[in-house]
Amino acid sequence: GAVVSQHPSRVICKSGTSVKIECRSLDFQATTMFWYRQFPKQSLMLMATSNEGSKATYEQGVEKDKFLINHASLTLSTLTVTSAHPEDSSFYICSAWQGAPGANVLTFGAGSRLTVL
């Protein structure tokens, strides 16, 4: 079945540094990927829609300059948390549709836990 891989699964960084998280579709091409942030009480917030070859579409309230998204190929989207601060500590999850959105099955990565000291 379709697999979405995230790397790293865990990362710890110092405040003020930038961290890049990768999301790869391993056995299918994904023109669209989604980045979510999961808060401690488990709610899942959609941050942005990553579009291959074009700019990402950010949800209201998400800072574009803070969370840089690049979708340079059909199998890779990256999320860079710039100048990270402790409040950015969270669980970041990516997902992708296999094939056209009408396939109605969204495959998720296992998530990346970011801890900012």
Partner 1 sequence: GNSVTQMEGPVTLSEEAFLTINCTYTATGYPSLFWYVQYPGEGLQLLLKATKADDKGSNKGFEATYRKETTSFHLEKGSVQVSDSAVYFCALKHSSASKIIFGSGTRLSIRP
Kindly list the residues in this chain that would bind partner 1 in the complex (CB under 8 A): 4, 6, 32, 34, 36, 42-44, 46, 49, 93, 95, 97, 101-102, 104-111
Tell me whether residue 17 or residue 29 sits nearer to partner 1 (CB atom).
Answer: 29
Closest contact distance (angstroms) between CB of 15 and partner 1 is 26
| Token couple for 18 | 């930038």
Nearer to partner 1, 67 or 97 (CB): 97
* Least CB distance to partner 1 at residue 73 (A): 18
Task: Identify which of residues 103 and 117 has a Cβ nearer to partner 1 in the complex.
Answer: 103
Neighbours of 19 (CB within 10 A): 19
- Considering the complex, state which of residue 14 and residue 105 has its C-beta at the smaller distance from partner 1: 105
Rounded to the nearest whole angstrom, what is the least distance from the CB of residue 4 to partner 1 in the complex? 8
At closest approach, how far in Å is the CB of 71 from partner 1?
13
Residues 6+ apart with CB under 8 A from 78: 20, 21, 22, 23, 69, 70, 71, 72
Structural contact between residues 115 and 12, judged by C-beta atoms closer than 8 angstroms = yes
Secondary structure E strands in the chain: 4-7, 10-13, 19-25, 32-38, 44-51, 57-58, 67-73, 76-81, 90-97, 106-108, 112-116
